[in-house]
Chains A and B, each alone.
Chain A
Amino acid sequence: MNNSDLAQILIRAVEEADSSERLLDAVQELAAAGIEEAIPTLIAALGYNNPGAAVAAVDGLIAIGEASVQPLLELIDNYNYGARAWAVRALAGIGDVRALDTLLEAAKSDFSLSVRRAAARGLGTLRWYQVPPEKLESIQTQVLEALLLISQDPEWVVRYAAVTSLETLAMSGDNPQSGNAISVTLPEQASRITNQLQQMLDTDVDLGVRTRVKFAQQKIQPQQHQQTFAPKRKVVDPELPYRGGSRR
Chain B
Amino acid sequence: MNPSPEKTEDLSLTGNNAEGGSLTVEQALANLEGADLGLRFYAAWWLGRFRISEAAAVTALIKALEDEADKTPEGGYPLRRNAARALGKLGDRQAVSPLIGCLDCSDFYVREAAAQSLEMLGDPVCIPALIKLLAVGLQGEQLISKQPDLSQPYEAILEALGSLRATEYIPLIKPFLEHPIELVQYAAARAMYQLTQEPVYGERLVQALAGEKLQLRRAVLADLGAIGYLPAADAIAQTLAENSLKLISLKGLLEHQVNHTTPSTFSEDTIKVMNLMDSLL
Contacts and interface: CB of A to CB of B under 8 A. Distances in A.
A247 B247 CA distance: 40
A113 B9 contact: yes
A108 to B, nearest CB: 16
Contact of B271 (A20, A113, A161, A215): A215
30 contacts: A49-B1, A49-B3, A50-B1, A51-B4, A51-B5, A51-B242, A82-B4, A82-B6, A113-B9, A113-B10, A114-B9, A114-B10, A114-B243, A117-B281, A118-B281, A120-B281, A121-B278, A155-B13, A157-B244, A157-B248, A160-B247, A161-B281, A164-B278, A207-B255, A208-B251, A211-B254, A211-B270, A211-B274, A212-B274, A215-B266
B218 to A, nearest CB: 12
A52 B240 contact: yes
Contacts of A246: none
Interface in A117-157: 117-118, 120-121, 155-157
A20 B244 CA distance: 21
B255 to A, nearest CB: 5
A85 interface: yes
A43 to B, nearest CB: 17
A121 B251 contact: no
B147 interface: no
Interface of A: 20, 49-52, 82, 85, 111-114, 117-118, 120-121, 155-157, 160-161, 164, 207-208, 211-212, 214-215, 218
| Chain B contact residues: helix, strand, loop or mixed | helix
Contacts of B6: 82, 85, 112, 114
B262 interface: no
Given A50-B1, A51-B4, A218-B266, A211 B258 contact: yes
A171 B254 CA distance: 24
Interface in B232-281: 240, 242-244, 247-248, 251, 254-255, 258-259, 263, 265-266, 270-271, 274, 277-278, 281
Given A51-B242, A82-B4, A157-B244, 16 more contacts: A51-B5, A82-B6, A112-B6, A114-B10, A118-B281, A121-B278, A121-B281, A157-B248, A164-B281, A207-B258, A208-B251, A208-B254, A208-B255, A211-B270, A212-B277, A214-B266
Interface residues of B, number: 31
Contacts of A121: 278, 281
A211 B255 contact: yes
Interface centre among B1, B244, B258, B277 (most CB of A within 10 A): B1
B12 to A, nearest CB: 10
A215 B7 CA distance: 32
Contacts of B254: 208, 211
B22 interface: no
Contacts of B151: none
B145 interface: no
| Chain A contact residues: helix, strand, loop or mixed | helix
Nearest to B247: A157
B72 interface: no
A53 B10 CA distance: 21
B139 interface: no
A215 B274 contact: yes
Contacts of B10: 111-114
A20 B240 CA distance: 14
A118 B4 CA distance: 17
A51 B1 CA distance: 9
A160 B4 contact: no
B160 to A, nearest CB: 22
Contacts of A161: 281
Contacts of B259: 207
A111 B14 contact: yes
A211 B6 CA distance: 26
Nearest to A158: B281
Contacts of B14: 111
A49 B4 contact: yes
A212 B255 CA distance: 10
B167 to A, nearest CB: 26
A119 to B, nearest CB: 10
Contacts of A82: 4, 6-7
Contacts of A155: 13
Given A164-B281, A208-B251, A51 B2 contact: yes
Nearest to B242: A51
A160 B5 contact: no
Contacts of A114: 6, 9-10, 243-244
